[in-house]
Amino acid sequence: MTCDYVVERAAANLPQSAQSAIFTVSGGRVLLLALVPEVTTPIQNQTNATSIYINPTVGSDVQIWSLDSIEDRAAGVMFGLHWNGSGSTLFEVTVDPFPPAPIIVPAGAIDLSCAASSTGQLKWLLIYQPLDPGAKVTAA
């Protein structure tokens, strides 16, 4: 029997025109079931293309979600992140945080990338299942 694990990441500023780790995956592969960002400090009203990447220890980054802009969001707004399964990306505001298909994430990091330098903070909730013995996720 496999059980789900929950990891929370405390509120933190958005990366400033950069890509930055939000979670670390260690000890093997995990099955990503949900990744839910919530705005805790309002996000500045300026265009800020935002993406989430799998950044494996071995291999190249893979973009799994993106949004044309994350601007002007109030505290309390939550995003549901949906992988559409065809290799393209989709990042949408929704009430359903669970993707239609889980994503296998290898050891490495899950990164948040912001194109602009905007004020605002997000906190995160991640739900996963370990696929390899000893695999785990921690907040970065």
pTM score of the predicted model: 0.87
Please check whether residue 119 lies inside any domain of the structure: yes
Please check whether residue 138 lies inside any domain of the structure: no
Which is nearest to 69 in space by CA: 87, 99, 92, 42? 92
- Which CATH number characterizes residue 123's domain? 2.60.120
Please check whether residue 89 lies inside any domain of the structure: yes
Percent of the chain past pLDDT 90, that is, above it, reads 59
List the domain range (segments joined by +) for residue 55: 5-128
Please check whether residue 140 lies inside any domain of the structure: no
Please check whether residue 32 lies inside any domain of the structure: yes
Please check whether residue 133 lies inside any domain of the structure: no
Q: What is the tens place of the pLDDT at every residue in 39-91?
A: 999 999 999 888 889 999 999 999 888 777 788 888 988 877 655 544 434 44
pLDDT of 1 > 80? The answer is: no
The domain total for the chain is: 1
Please check whether residue 137 lies inside any domain of the structure: no
Please check whether residue 41 lies inside any domain of the structure: yes
Bridging pattern class, strands 50-56 and 108-114: antiparallel
